[in-house]
Structure 1
Amino acid sequence: MAEVAQPIESQQSPIKQEEQQQNGDIEMLNGADSQTPIEGEKKEEEGDNKQDEPEEEKIPEDACETLYLQNLNEKVRIPVIIETLYSLFKPYRPLHPVIAHRNVRMRGQAFISFPDVKSANEAKKDVSEFPLYGKAIQISFARGRSDSIVKKLEGDEKFDEHQAHRLEEKKKKRRNNPLRQKAQAKLKAEETGAPTTKKQKLQMPDEYLPPNSVLFIQNLPEGTTSDDLREVFEVHSGLVEIRTIPAKKDIAFVEFQDENSATLAKDALHNFKIDGETKMKVTYARK
């Protein structure tokens, strides 16, 4: 019997094999493209991710736990200002007390402290220019730490050192005050008989001026207003009028109903420190 020939596996032509190989390479390339992002797309995605991450805010180098507030409405009473400021800054955990003074030199200003620098920085950023009683608050960091902060964070021992250093700095500033140095130089020149730089005008000494119902106020601190003087002089009966001089802001005239009322006010308020530091001079006015 004749043997049946086994079928030989079909062999493809070289051209067809080359076409299949090319088709396979194309499919592999397409598959790679669909799975692996291009390098440019990678960088773009990384950039987008970086933009989504919030940048950490930097705290200024001069930051401290205490804020210095300016441009406060001077017509509002001090207790009201203090209570309002504490309520305004309440979300940032302010510490007691809020410092605000009624004297002329510190009017319209206040100090408020916080538990840490971060809270103070957030309060400064959020509340700055807030229109409080019709005036935009101006806020900056205080030059130094407040007494309450030092006592809270450093303890009593450090607080005593801080307070002593602050008082010494205050005395130093007073000693170096140009007006004080000028007055001391003038007094020394008068005692030694040395000629002064300016020609002295001959005037009748104050103690020889005849009493009258009008008082002459001198050496007033900068920024003193008629309202400030009224607060001081109205405690004495018989006050009629207070006249300030726009061209010369360190003097004023205060008129009483009679000589007796003026004399009582003069004796009580001569050398009174209207701002806690500067002594004002009270004499009878010249007729």
Structure 2
Amino acid sequence: MASIPPNQTLYIRNLNDKIQKEVLKHALYGLCIAYGRVLDIVALKTMKMRGQAFVAFDDITAATAALRQLNGRRIFGRPLQVEYALSKSNVVAQNDGSYRFNEPHKHMSAVERKRITDESSEEDDIGPAPPATNEDYEATRDNGDDEVSPSSTLFITNLPDNISIDVLAGLFQKYAGFQEVRPVPGKRNMAFVEYATVDSASAARNVLNGFKLSADQPMRVAFSR
């Protein structure tokens, strides 16, 4: 089989299909943004697309760097299988002017069209995780939170045991001022997240407190004492 020529879109397989789509897309974004501007991520939860995703970069250099560094890297307990997509993604075609608006799947290979056809309505844009509901917040908040003054450091608890630092960083670095994630030695379900300012930390906390990294495990985000 002929090798696939380098292009701006990567095809990723062997993803853990038990992970929520929003969490998966945040994690992929966090991993890929280190290599260049990410234009789009398509990760569907249908039968045909389970465990697979497409990531479109702004240029081939970024896509190539991501492929070399991420192929074989473990995320949510599985090693990624990363290769170039068979053809350019729609968002890349729109950027270079070759997109046909009356033929939305023209720039996909026959295999990719089969995967995506009639399923594109399930796609959503990369963006912040949805705010926690009142129910989620009340289930995870600590009565002592109100006594802790806001700070630039967040204390994260109730994390799944299989969560990685890279995935956690992918969630939190979407908010301005992100600096680092620090694991708690001997505590796989806890971590600290450092921001440059109190306002940045507050913005991340307001959105991600109660965000579910698994179906029944809302993450708790509090200010560090």
Which of the pair is proportionally richer in strand?
A: 2
Q: Relative CO higher for 1 or 2, CA cutoff 8 Å, sep ≥ 6?
A: 2
Which of the pair is proportionally richer in helix?
A: 1
TM-score, L = length of structure 1 = 0.35
TM-score, L = length of structure 2 = 0.44
Larger C-alpha radius of gyration, 1 or 2? 1
